[in-house]
Structure 1
Amino acid sequence: MLTEERQKYILEQLSHQKIIKTQTLVTKLDASESTIRRDLQEMEAAGLLKRIHGGAKQLMKLDTEPDMLEKSSKNLHEKQIIAKYASDLVKNGDFIYLDAGTSTYEMIPFLKGKEIHVITNSVYHANALVNLSIPTMIIGGTIRLKTKAVINAFSVQQLELLRFDKAFLGINGVDANAGLTTPDPDEAIMKSTAIQQSEQLIVLADASKFNKVSFAKVAEIDAGLILTNSLPEEDHAIYTQLTTIKELVL
């Protein structure tokens, strides 16, 4: 088989699965291990994949930020299950921070009746909270038209004056190496500041957020408790070693 044919096959396999083993390629392509290693070296140099011990994996593309409407329609059932569990962690008397995002938005119906104070940087969240007669403070600043989140330097200054019992954050990317990430650097600063001002961090991340990396880092993966409905099968052992992750049974 020609080099181009082998490498095309490797790319096709990686488009369906994130990791492929060298020995699997040796068997499937009827090629020597040295030939496969050479193929993988050439493909890594060309920016087509990343070599790992015993094989290769897909290159991760940085995610962009979808708008609130687009995000709200994705994985809704999973988000609601996670949100219900997260809301059970809220106790009477708590001052909690809910950052902008559809996962934290799904917590709001479950907070009704609790004797709490909520601080948020989301216009959507503030409106829903007030409609349920939940004492609410909204952070001031510039409203992002795409996400309806309030984010700028003034917003960060306000957060730095407050303290929370718990901060509940949505996140765009969760990766064992890259940590918690989001596309917007200003939003990353807001999230990081909320973490610093909170006694406890709870991150709501459905299965689609794992093995994803966005542009701006928020925190290390072990910065707080991460709630999810499912972990990636291929990296399940890696993530389950982290005591900061709880995989909910749906």
Structure 2
Amino acid sequence: MQNLRRHKRLLKLLDEHGEATAQQLMSWLPASAATVRRDLAWLAAHQQLLRLRGGARRLPREVTGASLRSQAFRDALQRQVAEKRAIARHAAGLCRAGDTVIINGGTTTFLMNEYLPASGLRVLTNSFLLAERLLSSSRHEVILPGGSVYREQNVIVSPFEDDVTRHHYASTMFMSAHGLSALGLMESDPLLVQAERRLIQQAERLVVLADHSKFERRSGLVLCGLERVHCLITDAGAPDAAVQWLEGLGVPVVRVAPEAD
């Protein structure tokens, strides 16, 4: 109950001021630095605010929790939060002004929005949730493929081979995946496999974002082979044997430490 009251107070302060530094929030609440960091991490994971370097900004009400209509997506977003956030931060650091990138509709890739620069990118995404967030909190050019909204995964899926994606080129595609296996990247839904394969074809490099739990997950559908992966970003909990095996196949692996909060 105390956490809930403090969260409401913190959001009210951001409603009043638009954005604030962590130091300001510490003095206004009042609360310790560690408590404020934990509160910001929790509220960001629940789409109540956007974390900035050294502080936070309140998200417009129309793009907060109500827009996350998929319970499965909400649940996934709350698992391995620190690991996913660290992976997303590292991935966002690979983007440079002027780049055209593709970002798919996974939970880890969704968290990249918190760490991308404020402008200078062209982002093609099949995640209407990520597109909504980028439009409200950045000045990036955002491109969406045509198709139907797939509510369970918060993505846009086209039943047609000839959709808008084939007219775009990206230097890098950042992709979450359901799981990893010796056969390649795994996915659980045939509609998603179809959509993701079209996106992969338009990118020069494929960077996969996968926390350690993805090494344990299997599915009956292969999205693409490991030879297509140019880099895998995971966390420190990834199994050593699996990392060595991937590197032996020529897949560079970056392991990042989970964020403290």
Report the TM-score when normalising by structure 1: 0.69
Q: State the aligned residue count.
A: 185
AA aligned to 2:251 is: T
Matched-pair identity in %:
24
CA displacement at 1:161 relative to structure 2: 2.0
Larger radius of gyration: 1
Map of 2:61 onto structure 1: none
Q: 1:153 aligns with which of 150, 159, 162?
A: 159
| Residue aligned with 1:71, SS | helix
Q: Does 1:138 align with 2:141?
A: no
Q: Does 1:223 align with 2:223?
A: no
AA aligned to 1:237 is: Q
Q: Does 1:242 align with 2:249?
A: yes
| Residue aligned with 1:140, SS | coil
CA displacement at 1:83 relative to structure 2: 0.7
AA aligned to 1:186 is: L
Q: 1:187 aligns with which of 175, 184, 192?
A: 192
Can you give the 5+ residue segments of structure 2 that lack an aligned partner in the other structure? 1-69
AA aligned to 2:132 is: N
Query: Which stretch of structure 1 is more off in the superposition, 226-235 or 206-215?
Result: 226-235
| Residue aligned with 2:134, SS | helix
State how 1:1-250 maps to structure 2 within 5 Å. Answer: 67-132=72-137, 133-154=139-160, 157-175=163-181, 177-224=182-229, 225-229=231-235, 230-233=237-240, 235-250=242-257
RMSD over equivalenced CA pairs, Å: 2.0
Can you give the 5+ residue segments of structure 1 that lack an aligned partner in the other structure? 1-64
Q: Give, in whole Å, the separation in 1 of the partners of 2:146 and 2:108.
A: 21
CA contact (8 A) 2:233 2:256 kept: no
Distance 1:153 1:114, change over 3 A: same
Query: Which stretch of structure 1 is more off in the superposition, 221-230 or 70-79?
Result: 221-230
